[in-house]
Amino acid sequence: MTDAAKFIAIDGPAGSGKSSVSKAIARQLGFGYLDTGAAYRALAWHVLEHGADTADADAVRTAASDFPLNQGLDPDDRRVHVGEVDVTDAIRDPRVSAAVSGVARVPEVRVQVNETFRRIVSEAEYPAVVVEGRDITTVVAPDAPVRILLTAAPEVRAARRAGELAGENAAAVAEALHKRDASDSSVVDFLNAAPGVDVVDSTELDFAQTVDAVLAVIGQRRDADRGASHG
């Protein structure tokens, strides 16, 4: 079961600012923060540690059947463990990055990992958890009172990502972003808001304005949900 009221669900394409905005929101509101992308990275690391080929769906399913994930929710201390192993730094290795899409494409694995997200939020000691990533608003927590699609024009997302990756060629970053969008959209639709999902387009907004816009939606939605529950 999804503890829907504890979810602040934020979807969006690569480079939309989901992570940085979500962490800022969690800090300001005193909520937890769950980086679902880190969970898939941890699973990719786990599969590779088993010596399995992440392009082999059966091998991925086998490795995922025993995946003891433990993920911190503090927006300023987000340690990730698989069993007793701290993989916080290891999951950012290029070898792991290259393996994530193969793991995330397996439908049964997505179902399993989504259940893990629901469990983590349900057991969280925070009053709510800002959960960002793919298909959070539509699959993981479709009944959450706050569901937001954070987006921006492709060229803006590419420019922001290039700014984060100092020294990277802007054109190469844009091409990589385009490929990521194309690859991910074959699994989930994160470019179009589902019914009931609020859109925050940050194309013309700076970071602080984007955070304020998301905070405004959260306030409106949570107030409306409280009003409905007392109606």
Q: 60 with 54: CB under 8 angstroms?
A: yes
- Classified by CATH at the fold level, domain 1-31+128-231 comes out as Rossmann fold (3.40.50)
Q: Is 19 annotated as a binding residue?
A: yes
Query: Is 35-125 a CATH 3.40.50.300 domain?
Result: yes
pLDDT per position as a tens digit, 115-146? 999 999 999 999 999 999 878 998 899 999 99
Q: Is 6 annotated as a binding residue?
A: no
* Rounded-to-integer distance, Cα 198 and Cα 176, Å: 27
* Rounded-to-integer distance, Cα 105 and Cα 70, Å: 22
Confidence band, pLDDT 50/70/90 cuts, at residue 217: very high
Task: Break the chain into its structural domains and give their ranges.
Answer: 1-31+128-231, 35-125
Q: Pairing state of beta strands 32-35 and 129-132?
A: parallel
Q: Is 16 annotated as a binding residue?
A: yes
pLDDT per position as a tens digit, 139-162? 899 999 999 999 988 888 888 776
Q: Which residue in 101, 102, 95, 108 sits closest to 62, CA to CA?
A: 108
Q: Is 20 annotated as a binding residue?
A: yes
Q: Is 30 annotated as a binding residue?
A: no
3-state secondary structure of 80: strand
Q: Is 17 annotated as a binding residue?
A: yes
